[in-house]
Amino acid sequence: MFWHCVPMGFFDRNRAALAERGIDATRLPPGQYFTDRFPVLHVGDVPSYDLTAWDLQVGGLVRQPLRLSFDELRALPATEVLTDIHCVTKWSKFDTTWRGVRVRDLLDLAGRDPAATHVVGHAEFGYSANLPLEDVLGDKALVAYEYEGAPLEAEHGFPARLVVPHLYFWKSVKWLRGLELTNGDQPGFWERNGYHNYGDPFREQRYWGD
């Protein structure tokens, strides 16, 4: 009797490599592969900034809208988060370190209205992403200005980006300029163009209908 060996596919080899490194493969969502690189993906050009003119606005359903300079943002109590991140294009990167201000602290500072149900992250070039409010109130949701102990690189969102690591990383808006609290959902750029409205990696919510 002859046994036919079925070649191991890329994703299976990738998961096997995790086990060889002593890493729990359950950290890797279905349909993902892990990488030590940080691939660059974005819409539009990489903006450049004069930080003396940059600001971050927090508005919508708040009692006191905020407009923070970069120095004012950095002067707020900071948090460092160690987390895995997952891109909808199927790569995952483990144990990334981010530093910034918790989203919930910014919303509390602005006085969020109890009627708010969602938050929209606004970036340069009109880009936006929508999130249920409860998804940005946890300990790991940040407006981050450092990655691995250094300022964000331009292609990764300098000077500040949203980090919501439990969702696909398109929700973690780069080049963040504003957080808007809304009463009701307002799908963002990718959500209007075929991507899933929520984006849970472990449920493979990549596209409409997933």
Q: How confident is the model at residue 17 (pLDDT cuts 50, 70, 90)?
A: confident
CATH of the domain at 76: 3.90.420.10
Determine the structural domain holding residue 173 and report its residue range: 51-80+98-203
In a domain, 69, yes or no: yes
Tokens at 137, concatenated: 């109130």
132, part of any domain: yes
Nearest to 141 by CA among 107, 111, 196, 101: 101
End-to-end CA distance of the chain: 42
Question: Is residue 190 in some structural domain?
Answer: yes
CA atoms within 13 A on the CB side of 152: 26
The per-residue pLDDT for 20 is 86
The reported pLDDT for the residue numbered 7 is 54
The answer to whether residue 38 is domain-embedded is no
**Is position 2 within any domain?**
no
Q: Say if 39 falls within a structural domain.
A: no
Cα–Cα distance measured from residue 39 to residue 41, given in angstroms and rounded to the nearest whole number: 7
Q: What is the mean pLDDT of residues 156-166?
A: 97
Q: Residues 106-141: pLDDT tens digits?
A: 999 999 999 999 999 999 888 999 999 999 999 999
Of the candidates 46, 24, 42, 48, which has an alpha carbon nearest to the alpha carbon of residue 34? 24
User: What integer best gives the mean pLDDT of the chain?
Assistant: 93
Q: Specify if 23 maps to a domain.
A: no
Report yes or no on whether pTM surpasses 0.85: yes
Count up the domains in the chain and report the number: 1
pLDDT at 2 (0 to 100): 47
Query: Is residue 24 included in any domain, yes or no?
Result: no
Q: Per-residue pLDDT tens for 181-205?
A: 999 999 999 999 999 999 999 999 9
